[in-house]
Structure formats: structure tokens, C-alpha cells
Amino acid sequence: MTRLSVNINKVATLRNARGENNPDVVAFALHCEKVGAQGITVHPRPDERHIRRSDVAALKQAISTEFNMEGYPSEDFLALVEANRPAQATLVPDRPDQLTSSSGWDITANSHFLRGIVERLHKSGIRVSIFIAADPEQVRAAREIGADRVELYTKPYADLYPTDPARAIAPFIEASAEAKKIGIGMNAGHDLSLENLEYFHARMPHLQEVSIGHALISDALYLGIDETIRRYLNCLK
């Protein structure tokens, strides 16, 4: 079964709107685990507009499932990762002011930089995933620099799915086959939802983890977080 990691950034955004501790992101993460989520993801940004540095430390101490930290590998981010040692660090090519991830790495063009980051994080015993487009060439490049996994950027799939699901999934199936062939793990995330997740998962037999935040938290406004997580887990059976 593919693991569900709940990205709780949007919970922190809601909390920060009032400057207090309601909702409590740690309590929310623990509740997600209780309902059945198999991981918690955070994407701290330099301006702390949602997840704060203090949240990272508190979550690391509290949660019992897999902890995944996403971010651009600046020195500040890497120091935060090394200080808290999550199970997985997912490297994304975001600008500091970017609202959300919008593309994957060109690993070939950044191979020297990324190879050094992978080696550095491996010294702390941290699994490294690289955020990429569904491109077999990028999958191979990730393996060559020593990454443990890739995370496929799924917004192109989500955008095309309503009108042509078979064409939407095709490049992801190809990337998945390449990942299996060369022995690198595979995650996926961005704009996966209750509408498109079951179809995606059914055609991606080597998928190890999905990280879902915005759609899941939005669904919870209508369904409640318990029912929402149950429905996402059902999509991954």
C-alpha cells in the first residue's frame, strides 16, 4: 500500500492568521496519525509564513510516523534538516518567495550542487528525495547523483486528468517504469485529490508515498479530517 503523508502547511497558515496557537499544528498532526496517516510533511519557508522553525522541532519530538521535510536546499534549510533529522528530506527548486512548487529540478544542469547536498544529508542518515517532472531522463539523473527517491510533480497530471486521464497518466507510468528498472524509490505530490488519486495510484504499482496538503485540508472543511483521511487512504488501497 502506498503511504499517505499529510502536508500540514495549510493548518499552520490558518493558525498564523491570528498569531496564537489555534489550530495547534502538533495536535493536528498527532490526530492525523491516529486516524491512519502514515506520515507528516512540512515545507518550511524562509519567511515562516506557515510552518515555523519551532514547529519543526516540536513535530520531530511528537510524531511517531514518518517525518518528511520539503524545501529548497539553502544553508538555513539544510541546517534545520540536520538539526531535526527527519526520515526524509525532499529537495525542491522553489524560490524563497514562491507560493507553491511549480516545477521539478533539472538535475543534469544542477548535478554538482545536488550531489553535494545528497552526500551531506546521507551523512546524517536522512533519506533524500528529489522533486522532478515525470521524465525518465530526470529519474536516471537522480539515481546518478545518489538520491534515494524521486518525487514526481503531479500538477500536469491533475490539470489534464478531467479531460484525458489516459494521456495525463502516460508520462508518469513511463517514469515509474524507469524508476523500477534502475532501483530508485518513487513518491508523488502536488494537486493530487480525491478526484484523481485513485486512478493515479491504480496505474502506478511502484508508488511508495504521496504527499498531499492543500486538497486534503480543503476537503476536511466539508468532510472533517477523520473522514477525509479515510477517503484518501481508501484511494491508496
pLDDT in tens, 161-181: 999 999 999 999 999 999 999
User: For residue range 194-210, what is the model confidence (pLDDT) as tens digits?
Assistant: 999 999 999 999 999 99
Q: Give residue 209's pLDDT.
A: 98
Q: How far apart are CA 228 and CA 237, in angstroms?
A: 15
Give the helix/strand (H/E) hosting 62: helix 53-62
Count other C-beta atoms under 10 Å from residue 101's C-beta.
19
Find the catalytic residue in 33, 50, 70, 201. Answer: 70
Q: Quote the mean pLDDT of the chain.
A: 96
| Of 94-98, 152-156, 179-183, 199-203, the least confident | 94-98
Residue ranges and CATH numbers for the domains of the chain are 3-235 (3.20.20.70)
Q: Give residue 1's pLDDT.
A: 84
Q: What are the residues whose beta carbons fall under 8 Å from the beta carbon of 210, sequence distance 6 or more?
A: 2, 3, 4, 5, 187, 188, 189, 192, 197, 201, 236
pLDDT, average across residues 20-27: 97
pLDDT at 157 over 70: yes
Give the helix/strand (H/E) hosting 139: helix 136-144
Res. 137 pLDDT band, cuts 50 70 90: very high
Q: Is the peptide bond before 93 cis (omega within 30 degrees of 0)?
A: no
Active site residue 66: no
Q: How far apart are CA 136 and CA 108, in angstroms?
A: 12
User: For residue range 43-81, what is the model confidence (pLDDT) as tens digits?
Assistant: 999 999 999 999 999 999 999 999 999 999 999 999 999
pLDDT, average across residues 174-193: 97
Active site residue 190: yes
Find the catalytic residue in 33, 151, 178, 190. Answer: 190
Q: Provide, rounded to the nearest whole percent, the portion of the chain with pLDDT above 70.
A: 97
Find the catalytic residue in 43, 50, 151, 201. Answer: 43
Q: Give residue 124's pLDDT.
A: 97
pLDDT, average across residues 150-171: 98
For the chain, the straight-line distance linking the first and the last C-alpha, in angstroms and rounded, comes to 6
pLDDT at 219 over 90: yes
pLDDT at 99 over 90: no
Q: How far apart are CA 207 and CA 210, in angstroms?
A: 8
Q: Rounded to two decimals, what is the model's pTM? A: 0.95
Active site residue 70: yes
Res. 94 pLDDT band, cuts 50 70 90: confident
168, three cell numbers: 495525463
